[in-house]
Amino acid sequence: MTLPAMLQIDEILAAYRSGMLRPTALVTEVLERVDAYALKDPAVWIARAERDTLLARAAFLETQPVDSLPLYGIPFAVKDNIDVAGYPTTAACPDFAYVPQASAEVVARLEAAGAIMIGKTNLDQFATGLVGTRSPYGQPHCVFDDRYVSGGSSSGSGVAVAAGLVSFSLGTDTAGSGRVPAAINNIVGLKPTRGALSTTGVVPACLSLDCVSIFATSVADALKVETQAAAWDSAAPYSRPMQHHALPQQTFRFGVLAHKDRFFDGDTQNADLYEQAISRCEALGGVAVELDYTPLRETAELLYGGAFVVERLAAIEPFFTAHEAAMDPTVAGIIGSARNYSAADVFRAAYRQHELRQVAAQMWQQFDVMLLPTMPRIVSRAEVAAQPVAANSLHGVYTNFVNLLDMSACAVPAAFRDDGLPFGVTFVAPAFADHDLGLLAGRFHAASQTGAGLARVAVGAADEAARPAAEGTLRLAVVGAHLKGLPLHYQLEQENAVLVRTTRTATDYRLFALPASTPPKPGLFRQPGFEGPGLEVEIYELSAAGFGRFVASVPQPMAIGRISLADGQEVDSFLCAEAFASKGQDITALGGWKAYLQTRQAG
Residue tagged active-site, from 150, 153, 213, 239: 153
SS3 of residue 439 by DSSP = helix
Torsion angle defined by CA atoms of residues 30, 23, 546 and 553, in that order, rounded to the nearest 10 degrees:
-90
Sign of CA dihedral 6, 83, 240, 292: negative
Q: Is residue 380 flagged as an active site residue?
A: no
Calculate the CA 413 to chain-centre distance. Answer: 15
**Active-site option among 154, 157, 177, 239:** 177
Q: How far is CA 300 from CA 20, 280, 336, 385, in A?
A: 49, 27, 20, 24
The contacts of residue 7 (CB under 8 Å, 6+ apart) are: 30, 74, 75, 164, 166, 167, 217
CA dist., res. 275 & res. 273, Å (int): 5
> What is the bridge-based pairing of β-strands 407-416 and 473-478?
unpaired
Query: CA-based Rg of the chain, rounded to a whole angstrom?
Result: 23
Is 177 in the active site?
Answer: yes
Specify whether the CB–CB gap between 75 and 26 falls below 8 A. yes
DSSP 8-state code for residue 554 = P
H or E stretch including 425?
A: strand 422-430
Report residue 70 CA to chain centroid gap: 16
Report the alpha-carbon distance of residue 397 to residue 262 in Å, rounded.
Answer: 11
- In Å, the largest CA–CA distance within the chain is 72
- Between CA 266 and CA 372, with CA 157 as vertex, the angle to 5 degrees is 35
- In DSSP terms, 554 is beta-bridged to none
Three-class secondary structure of residue 260 per DSSP? helix
Backbone angles phi, psi at 134, to 5 degrees: -95, 65
Distance CA 575, CA 480 (A): 11
What residue spans of 103-146 are helical by DSSP H?
Answer: 105-112
Q: Is there a catalytic annotation at residue 79?
A: yes
Residue 26, φ and ψ in degrees, nearest 5: -60, -45
Give yes or no for a contact between 57 and 30, defined as CB atoms under 8 angstroms apart: no
Separation between Cα atoms, residue 309 and residue 108, nearest integer Å? 30
Could you tell me the sign of the dihedral formed by the alpha carbons of 62, 67, 69, 70, in that order?
Answer: positive
Spatial CA neighbour of 414 closest among 443, 449, 371 = 449
3-state class (DSSP) for residue 347: helix
Alpha helices in 306-397 (DSSP H): 309-323, 329-336, 343-363, 381-386, 388-395
Dist CA 48 CA 296 (whole Å):
39
Which DSSP string corresponds to 48-114? E--HHHHHHHHHHHTTS-GGGSTTTT-EEEEETTB--TTS-B-TT-GGG-B--SS--HHHHHHHHTT
Active-site residue list = 79, 153, 177
